[in-house]
Amino acid sequence: MKRIAIDIDEVMADTAISHLELFNLEHGDNVTLEELQGTTLVNIRPERREEIESYYESEQFFRQLSVIPDSQEVIRELQKHYEIFIATAAMEVPASFRAKYEWLKEHFSFISDNHIVFCGDKSIIHADYLIDDNVKQLNRFQGTGILYSAAHNIFETGYTRVNNWLEVQELLLGERAEVSR
């Protein structure tokens, strides 16, 4: 059975949109999602770098993130045909460990603890596929990388790109369907 590793932030969890909404609300700002395309909030409001980054120091921030549409259903379906591991770069934000774990237990209770990985550099991940929004991680990964579209990566080329979970389903279950014919 082939193995798929899946990132959390921007792939399973709506991290950037939640971040933007909280920032706008708490700082009386009105940066739009359109402005974020191909860039980051820090690039748009460099003078507020400290406030912007402070959200990532907050355990609560990671606990309340919304689930990306269709991710639960598609991952549950993928699990019938692949070994599914969750691989999140949690080491960048030690405050997030517990919150990320509890978030997974709440929203993806069908993933066993044994298949959850908190790491930094994802070259350590031994899997056939990695679905991630971060091209640096995809570049270091030894298997086949799949770029999950996020505002910050829309101008990246050279990767198999998926724009939503239905496209993941088509790519990874469609491919399997062909193989098993």
Binding residues vs its own copies (CB under 8 A): 3, 5, 85, 87, 90-92, 94, 97-98, 101, 112-121, 123-127, 142
Buried b (16+ CB within 10 A) or exposed e, 47-69: ebeeebeebeeeeebbeebeebe
Q: Which is nearer to its own copies, 37 or 123 (CB)?
A: 123
Q: Which is nearer to its own copies, 56 or 70 (CB)?
A: 56
Residue from 9, 14, 132, 133 carrying the catalytic annotation? 9
How far are the Cα atoms of 28, 81, 130 from residue 85, in angstroms, in the given order?
39, 13, 9
Minimum CB distance to its own copies, residue 47 (Å):
28
Q: For residue 52, how many C-alpha atoms fall within 13 Å in the half-sphere facing its CB?
A: 15
Using CA atoms in the order 36, 155, 130, 41, what is the torsion angle rounded to 10 degrees?
Answer: -20
Contact 25/149 with Cβ under 8 angstroms? no
Annotated catalytic residue 9 = yes
Q: Which is nearer to its own copies, 45 or 140 (CB)?
A: 140
Phi, psi at residue 55, to the nearest 5°?
A: -60, -35
Annotated catalytic residue 7 = yes
Minimum CB distance to its own copies, residue 158 (Å):
22
Q: Which is nearer to its own copies, 50 or 113 (CB)?
A: 113
Minimum CB distance to its own copies, residue 127 (Å):
7
Catalytically annotated residues: 7, 9
